[in-house]
């Protein structure tokens, strides 16, 4: 079973990197089998990842939590931030200092704002699930990815087509794409293409992009050796 999963992943990765599937963008950066996340996450523009370099923060979780509730033109008090995030005084003070030192936020009097230097790139994040044992589990997994991704796609084998045709309304209701794929022939067929959504959780999106930015940086260093 493990070898079969690996074969499917390898084949799908080749297809994605070669931009062989219509209605999918050409991905400048592709992540595979992320721990606790999708089987593949693709970015049409690699610069999106570099925008979220939180490597100098002591806590990625705390930093992304604070940033998720800050705005450019509407200030937040420290009490408001503490109440919304649940971060302790000591940790919050450290996080605010680090975010300010790295120009992610600015402080005006007793209010905190997102820094104009922290330009958040337009989202275009794709997430794919291939390893779920059945279509119900695939749909469940895909809906979890909607927390951080703009497009989610469940990739299923062709022998499930008849059953899946009867479930298209459910996939449409949840705005999950459905793609049939044959790892041997590389044949594919869209049963439903996803529409673009905003990520459901700003905090989870920031946390996720921070993780990927750190991984991307480490991989770049390794490639240079």
Q: How far is CA 182 from CA 8, 20, 48, 158, in A?
A: 8, 13, 31, 7
Q: Which domain holds residue 81?
A: 56-119
Are 69 and 168 in a shared domain? no
Q: 101-154: per-residue pLDDT in tens?
A: 999 999 999 999 999 998 876 678 999 999 999 999 999 999 999 999 999 999
Quick check: is 209 in a domain?
no
Q: Can you give the pLDDT of all 225 residues of the chain as single tens digits?
A: 455 578 999 999 999 999 999 899 999 999 998 877 899 999 998 877 777 889 899 999 999 999 999 999 999 999 999 999 999 999 999 999 999 999 999 999 999 999 999 887 667 899 999 999 999 999 999 999 999 999 999 999 999 999 999 999 999 999 999 999 999 999 999 999 999 999 999 999 999 999 888 887 666 555 555
Task: Please give the pLDDT value at position 1.
Answer: 47
C-alpha–C-alpha distance, residues 174 and 144, integer Å: 11
CATH number at residue 91: 1.10.10.10
Are 45 and 128 in a shared domain? yes
Counted domains in the chain: 2
Quick check: is 133 in a domain?
yes
The answer to whether 64 touches 54, Cβ cutoff 8 Å, is: yes
- Residues in contact with 167: Cβ distance below 8 Å, sequence separation at least 6, in sequence order: 135, 139
Quick check: is 111 in a domain?
yes
Work out the angle at residue 14's Cα, subtended by the Cα atoms of residues 182 and 153, and round it to the nearest 5 degrees: 60
């Amino acid at each position: 079973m493990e070898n079969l999963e690996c074969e499917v992943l390898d084949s799908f990765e080749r297809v994605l990197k070669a931009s062989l599937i219509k209605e999918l963008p050409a991905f400048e950066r592709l992540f595979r089998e992320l721990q606790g996340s999708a089987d593949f996450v693709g970015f049409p523009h690699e610069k999106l990842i570099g925008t979220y370099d939180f490597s100098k923060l002591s806590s990625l979780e705390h930093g992304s939590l604070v940033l998720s509730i800050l705005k450019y033109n509407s200030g937040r008090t420290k009490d408001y931030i503490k109440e919304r995030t649940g971060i302790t005084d000591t940790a919050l003070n450290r996080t605010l200092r680090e975010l300010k030192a790295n120009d992610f936020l600015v402080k005006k009097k007793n209010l905190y704002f997102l820094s104009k230097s922290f330009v958040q790139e337009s989202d275009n994040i794709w997430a794919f699930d291939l390893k779920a044992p059945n279509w119900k589990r695939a749909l469940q997994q895909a809906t979890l990815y909607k927390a951080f991704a703009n497009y989610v796609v469940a990739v299923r084998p062709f022998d499930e087509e008849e059953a899946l045709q009867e479930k298209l309304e459910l996939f449409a209701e949840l705005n999950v794409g459905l793609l049939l794929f044959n790892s041997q022939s590389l044949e594919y067929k869209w049963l439903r293409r996803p529409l673009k959504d905003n990520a459901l959780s700003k905090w989870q999106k920031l946390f996720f992009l921070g993780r990927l930015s750190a991984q991307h940086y480490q991989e770049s260093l390794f490639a240079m050796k």
